[in-house]
Structure 1
Amino acid sequence: MGARPVSSDPRSKRSRQQILDAVHRQARAGELTSISSLSAAAGVTRATFYNHFDTIEEAAWFAIHDNFDHILERAFEDRRRGISFEAAGVESLRLIVEVFRSAPQLVRLADAYDNGADLTGIAEIFRAQTAIVWVDSGRESATAEVEITYAAAGLYAVLAIGARGEDDPQDIARVAHAQLPEWMRQPDRG
């Protein structure tokens, strides 16, 4: 199981993006129910859908993954512009809470996806992005994979549970940030 590599062909990139955009639209409307309706909403054939994804859950997972990639890129850009690591981190976590709240159907479907990695669903996206932060921090450790996995699972749990409530997303983000290990909160201190 797993997605095919993203093609560099512009038409393939465009059809993949059309599918992911349709995933977001349909999930926000609570209408993400079948590959046929998703393909029609994306303006592609079912065969084109299957060229990119095996299931709706996989497409939802990649839609969330792409969102989180953009959030992480924004955080790194904020850091390059001189914004503190803490402020960039809290803002990233706030944006993730907003993603969770804006499309619960998308989150539920993405969480059902198992790509065979260390964690399943959205927790695996957190693990992959936590690994990026680990590398960026310049840390070395024999237990890196364990630390990354535990940090990602904990972060996901705090944000997912917090997003289900009515608390202010900024407050949830601050709580989640405070629960992170020191190397994620202040990687510059190494």
Structure 2
Amino acid sequence: MTSAAQGDRRRELAATDDPRAARTRDRLVAALDALLEAGEAVSVAAVCTRAGVGRSTFYTHFATVGDVVVYVVDTMFDEIGPRDVSRRTGQVMARAAITRTGLEELLAAFRLHRRYLLYAVSAPATERVREHLVEEMSASLRRTILTERPDASDEFLDTAGEYIAGGVLSVLLGWLESPRGRSDDDIVDTVAQLLPSWLTTND
């Protein structure tokens, strides 16, 4: 199978609800997590051995180990983004509370996936994975921004999403790498103060 055909097949499997494909991806994700937790060397072969699958099965779902991390990140933002939009659309909570809740959820997700994220920023594919992190968070933020600025142009939505995502991710990844005594509340408070007022206030 050519690399282009493999890429098409991976996209098909990612889009399907086939429980067998989902179980295989979950096994590969769990295998990578176990390797990272144990401090063992990470490679496609090591992930396959730990997951109990063949290399061809791995490559059916992912092109690289970095893509396993990308999958985890995609799933993370797929869960967090819609909840933030829902809270803002419902308009039951004050914007400051909505923003704080969203940041707390993001921080909790980063803590939960800490091993993957630290691997992502230290692995050979660091730049590509970091770029994907920004892209995914930017896309998620685009929907959030649109709820607050429905008349915003596409250029504004893209620029604001990239700007906010880049800054927030830099702070959170830096905190994961070196907390320096800063608590979760410290980070949430700091980031919330730096966000645009149209995201954090009802004015």
Superposition TM-score tier, normalisation by shorter sequence:
0.7 to 0.9
Superposed CA offset, 1:52-85 (max 9, x none): 11011111121233234334456567777x6631
Counterpart-to-counterpart distance in 1, 2:39 and 2:83:
28
Which of 110, 114, 117 is the matching residue for 2:128?
Answer: 114
Counterpart-to-counterpart distance in 2, 1:153 and 1:92:
18
**Conservation of the 8 A alpha-carbon contact between 1:130 and 1:148:** yes
Counterpart-to-counterpart distance in 2, 1:152 and 1:71:
14
**Conservation of the 8 A alpha-carbon contact between 1:127 and 1:148:** yes
1:98 corresponds to 2:129 = no
How many pairs were matched up? 185
**Conservation of the 8 A alpha-carbon contact between 2:100 and 2:188:** no
Q: Displacement, 1:150?
A: 0.9
Aligned counterparts, 1:10-159, within 5 A = 10-31=19-40, 33-72=42-81, 75=84, 84-99=97-112, 101-103=114-116, 104-109=118-123, 112=126, 114=128, 120-137=131-148, 139-142=150-153, 143-159=156-172
For structure 1, the residue ranges without an aligned partner over 5 or more in a row are none
Superposed CA offset, 1:94-138 (max 9, x none): 3145246455224534972638xxx71422222122123224435
Q: Percent identity?
A: 24
Corresponding letter in the other structure for 2:163? Y
Instruction: Give the TM-score normalised by structure 1.
Output: 0.78
Q: Once structures 1 and 2 are overlaid, which stretch shifts more, 127-136 or 49-58?
A: 127-136
**Residue aligned with 1:132, SS:** helix
Decide which structure has the larger Cα Rg and report it: 2
Q: Which has the higher helix share?
A: 2
Cα RMSD (Å): 3.1
Corresponding letter in the other structure for 2:101? A
**Residue aligned with 1:130, SS:** helix
Counterpart-to-counterpart distance in 2, 1:113 and 1:48:
26
Alignment-derived partner of residue 183 in structure 2: 168
**Conservation of the 8 A alpha-carbon contact between 1:60 and 1:110:** no
Q: Displacement, 1:165?
A: 2.2
Superposed CA offset, 1:24-66 (max 9, x none): 2322333351101101222322111111110111111212332
Against the structure 1 CA distance between its residues 122 and 35, is the aligned structure 2 distance closer, same or farther, given a 3 Å change threshold?
Answer: same
Q: Displacement, 1:8?
A: 2.2
Corresponding letter in the other structure for 2:21? S
Corresponding letter in the other structure for 1:19? L
Instruction: Give the TM-score normalised by structure 2.
Output: 0.73
Superposed CA offset, 1:138-169 (max 9, x none): 52312211111111111111222233223112
Against the structure 1 CA distance between its residues 168 and 101, is the aligned structure 2 distance closer, same or farther, given a 3 Å change threshold?
Answer: farther
Q: Once structures 1 and 2 are overlaid, which stretch shifts more, 158-167 or 68-77?
A: 68-77
Counterpart-to-counterpart distance in 2, 1:41 and 1:90:
34
**Conservation of the 8 A alpha-carbon contact between 2:120 and 2:126:** no
